[in-house]
Amino acid sequence: MSVPRSEYLSTVWKDGIFANRVLFITGGAGSIGSAQTRAMVHLGADACIIGRSVEKTENAAKEIAKVRNGARVIGIGNVDVRSYDSLKAAADRCVTELGSIDYVVAGAAGNFIAPIAGLSPNAFKAVIDIDTIGTFNTIKATMPYLVESAARNPNPNDAGTTGGRFVSTSATFHYTGMPLQSHVSAAKAAIDALMGSVALEYGPFGVTANSIAPGAIEGTEGMERLASSKLDPKTRTKGVPIGRWGSVRDIADATVYVFSDAGNYINGTTLVVDGAGWRRQGAA
Ligand code: HXC
């Protein structure tokens, strides 16, 4: 059964706004990544989903393609974002098969709950490698294509078409500090810093680069990993000020906003999508 639109995209967006555009997304088979991809494909884009597992990635691509007649969605498995060469090969294949890369989401991430005393140097490095180095590798592999896309689609232009946009996946832990998440906090802080440099270096080419920082999002692997631990949002916070947990649709809508013509002047910043939850996080 296909996923109803209400689970991945609000009704405010106009069909076809991403027609003839291609999304390249790492971690696109994950819970947040597949909602972001569904939303973009629903609104006209084709997509290339990158992941480590061949089966999971290819199955997600097939499922997501069902959201729109004629959608082309390919899954490229066996790609670890820690390997620049495998990412570069995937980006090249995406352009060969789908024609371009106009939008990129660096969504692949690694996380587990561990105190500093329980983290080996290699454990800390594993998360930095996946999140931070993986985002850098994604930038390196796709930026030449985003520059080409921005040249084809000047920002702004009369047609209201966009391209040449990069979104990384951040978090809010580093705003306050977060016990048991030192590795992720450091990795995501570095990603935010990286986006600033990309914005400055590639803004003159018309490319924008931003982070989206989700809060606690229901139904995700991240939330499952936190649940039943000392970090379980349901037990350790007084609740999100806006009165509910986030949904994958909240993140997909934010991604569509940044990639759309409405996001033309957003560059080098972090869009926090957490209902102001971070303002109550940090101390136990
Ligand atoms: C302490 C741990 C550990 C744990 C792994 N390690 N799990 N240390 N506590 N629970 C250590 C290992 O012992 C090893 O160190 C090092 O980390 C690398 O582990 P490997 O299993 O060899 O690494 P690898 O196979 O590359 O796997 C990477 C991973 C894994 C991050 C450990 O969990 C993974 O692949 N995750 C991808 C999916 C994922 O995490 N999704 C959640 C994303 S959610 P030694 O010293 O023994 O060699 C997210 C947002 C959360 O990021 C936000 C919530 C609100």
Going by pLDDT thresholds of 50, 70 and 90, the confidence category of residue 229 is low
Instruction: Please give the number of the atom of ligand 1 that sits closest to the Cα of 233.
Output: 55
Going by pLDDT thresholds of 50, 70 and 90, the confidence category of residue 232 is low
Whole-angstrom Cα distance, residue 76 to residue 81? 12
Give residue ranges with CB within 6 A of ligand 1. Answer: 109-112, 114, 118-120, 122-123, 126-127, 130, 171, 216, 221-222, 225-226
Stretch 223-250: mean pLDDT = 76
**Cα-based torsion angle of the residue sequence 18, 199, 28, 216 in order, rounded to the nearest 10 degrees:** -110
* pLDDT of 243: 87
Tokens 């140097």 belong to residue: 121
Ligand 1 center–CA 130 separation, angstroms: 9
Pocket test for ligand 1, best of 116, 130, 174, 181 (most atoms within 8 A of CB): 130
Residues catalogued as catalytic = 170, 188
Dihedral of alpha carbons 132, 136, 141, 145, sign? positive
Whole-angstrom Cα distance, residue 217 to residue 224? 10
CA distances from 115 to 123, 125, 127, 230 (A): 11, 14, 14, 11
Contacts of 4 (CB under 8 A, 6+ apart): none
- Atom 44 (ligand 1) nearest CA: 222
Name the more confident of 235 and 14.
14
Give the chain's radius of gyration (CA, Å): 18
Instruction: Please give the number of the atom of ligand 1 that sits closest to the Cα of 127.
Output: 31
Whole-angstrom Cα distance, residue 236 to residue 95? 45
Stretch 249-273: mean pLDDT = 98
**Predicted TM-score (pTM) of this structure:** 0.96
Residue (of 177, 98, 113, 182) closest to 145 by Cα position: 98
238 pLDDT higher than 70: no
Strands of the 22-26 sheet, one edge to the other: 73-76, 46-50, 22-26, 103-106, 165-169, 208-214, 270-273
Ligand 1 center–CA 179 separation, angstroms: 16
Pocket test for ligand 1, best of 26, 112, 273 (most atoms within 8 A of CB): 112
Residue (of 148, 66, 67, 68) closest to 104 by Cα position: 148
